[in-house]
Structure 1
């Protein structure tokens, strides 16, 4: 069953990694350390690829939220802009511009927001 899951094209990368991990456990129980290690290395490689794609998607999502927030900020709908910038900062923690805009929104409301408080809002 594990061979079929690993070899088939229609299986997603996470399912493939799970199958590799399970097969490596079985191989270890049988005493075949080299094959188990090979399967674990392939499992890690598969999961690293998934993580890289996930990070790219999160950055794109953060950029889309940031652009929506910038448009709403220019339209002077600050509550909607705040929601978009918060979503952008949560999707992509490296989006410092979103945090800057949040600071501007809070300043317009007469609020002060230090870096630590802003980090708490965006986490």
Structure 2
């Protein structure tokens, strides 16, 4: 897939990430499953890294690795999540069972041309990798 194809997903990815409420997290793979149409976790990671000035309006800190691991470095992601009430275990991983977002409502997904997040799709994700945002 070319970089221009990936960027075609970015606005849709941002729209999904904007739906994640404060106090919840989602994974790169979950966002990709909601966007669908060939989007994958790596594309979501690239989109988060390309936010630039939009990082003020898109809650990038709520997108983490599937295991609950923060995948950015040096951006105070944990501080931001803790300020929203997100809890971490002794390893520094988000308590996914408690704080994972289950996806948009069926009504929102249908109205905006997205898929609902199914349990089968949750967890289908590329391995965690360090991302450099901005």
Q: Is the structural similarity TM-score above 0.5?
A: no
What TM-score, normalized by structure 2, do the two folds share? 0.30
Q: Which has the higher Rg, Structure 1 or Structure 2?
A: 1
Higher helix share: 1
